Structure formats: structure tokens, C-alpha cells
Amino acid sequence: MSLISQGRRDAAAIVKEVTCSSPQRATKIKKRLSSSQEPTKMIENEALVLYVDTKMTKRQYLAIRDNTKDHRVNIYPSYEQLLLAKKNCYPPDITVTEISAEIKLQSLVDHTIKRLMLAQNEVLAQVNCIELKIIFKWGSDGAAGQSRYKQRFASENDDDSFLFSISLVPLRLIAKKTMKKLLYGKIHQLRRQNIVVR
């Protein structure tokens, strides 16, 4: 009795595909069936890159995470783990007040280098070098006459209509022995490589 006469058309199509094709086709189908690809869980930094690049809100992230869990695929870390990964992106000694945020330059440089080294440890392990040199660029910008918000400050003399900021961006990492350029341009490209440097 044939599979088609039993109403099993899909099974008949598969048998025909296996028997009428090349001999290698059956082997490929068998390998594909036996190798069940389990989804792999995202590490916290990967999830953070996705979260930042797509400008997700907490609610959106939790909705996506819950939806995938409903489909028995638990690939996203918890929101608490995401927050911890985000916290690890910040240098340890930031001083934030009502009207300012400050950090020591050396602390920012050290933390940025640490994050780059962690993210690029596989690349750096392959390079036989004595010393690494990192090149940064920095800049500042100010703005006046910004919109004033209904923010209440402790002192009546303070307001949020003026802004001054200083930025520090890593441009290139050079292995001193070989002078081989290793790195890696813009921060956006760094984030794509699972580095979030803030």
C-alpha cells in the first residue's frame, strides 16, 4: 500500500525526495534531522547592545523576553542582568549632582581600556606584542538657551538651560612591537562588536 493511498502526501514527498535525488541528498537530510539546533542564550553584553541599538524600553524588552519564553525559547537574560551589564559599562567613580555629572579623566581612560581589552581579548591574545598604544580623540561642546523644564532645583540660581560636555572616544589600538593597527574606529562599530563603552 502506498503512502499516497493512505493520505500521507507529505511523507510520500519526503520519500520521493530521498530516493529519487542524488545519493548525497539522503545523507544531508539525515544530518539535518539528527542535528537539532538548540537556541543559545544571549550573553548580557549582546542583549545590552540589542537593547541600546534598538532603543527599547524596559517594557518592550520584557515583552519580547516573555514572548520568547512562552514559545519555550529562553534566550534573553533577565532585565536585572541587563541592568548589571549596563552598570559595568560605567566607570566606578562618577560624581552626579543635581546640576552636573563628573568623572576623573584617568578613571574614564582606565575603564575604557579595560572594556576594550575584555571585548577584544581573543584578538589581543593572538598578537605577539610588548606594549599596546591607544589613541583617543576628545572634544567639548556647549549649548545655551536650551528649553527650560519644570525641574525644581535646590538652589533658585540653578537651571538646565545651559549645557557643557566633554567627550572622549577611542580611535585606534596599536601593538607597539609590530605597529599593526588593530582597532576599530567609531563607537557605533565598537557596539556592534559587543562592546558598550559609555
Q: Cell for 126?
A: 593572538
Task: Check residues 146 and 100 and name the one with the higher pLDDT.
Answer: 100
Asked whether the predicted pLDDT for residue 72 surpasses 50, the reply is: yes
What is the count of structural domains for the chain?
Answer: 3
In a shared domain, residues 66 and 132: no
Q: Which of 150, 151, 189 is nearest to 172 (CA)?
A: 189
188 assigned to some structural domain: yes
Question: Does 165 map to a domain?
Answer: yes
- Examine the domain organization and report whether 53 and 113 are in the same domain: no
The answer to whether residues 141 and 185 belong to one domain is yes
Q: Average of pLDDT values for 6-25? A: 76
Please indicate, yes or no, whether residues 96 and 189 belong to a single structural domain of this protein. yes
* Structural domain boundaries, residue 57: 39-89
The verdict on 49 and 19 lying in the same domain is no
Tell me if 122 is assigned to some domain: yes
What are the Cα distances from residue 125, in Å, to 77, 113, 146? Answer: 28, 15, 47
pTM exceeding the 0.85 threshold for the entire prediction? no
Q: How far apart are CA 44 and CA 79, in angstroms?
A: 9
Check residue 127 and give its pLDDT. 74
Q: Which pLDDT belongs to residue 44?
A: 93
78-129 confidence digits (pLDDT tens): 999 999 999 999 898 899 888 888 999 999 999 998 988 888 877 777 777 7
Spatial separation of the C-alpha atoms in residues 61 and 76, rounded to whole Å? 9
Q: Are residues 63 and 129 in the same domain?
A: no
Looking at the structure, tell me whether residues 17 and 43 fall in a common domain: no
Both 102 and 188 in one domain: the answer is yes
Higher pLDDT: 115 or 77? It is 77
Instruction: Look at 189 and 164; give whichever has higher pLDDT.
Output: 164
Chain centre distance of CA 21: 43
155 belongs to a structural domain? no
Average pLDDT over residues 17-46: 77
**pLDDT at residue 35, rounded to an integer:** 66
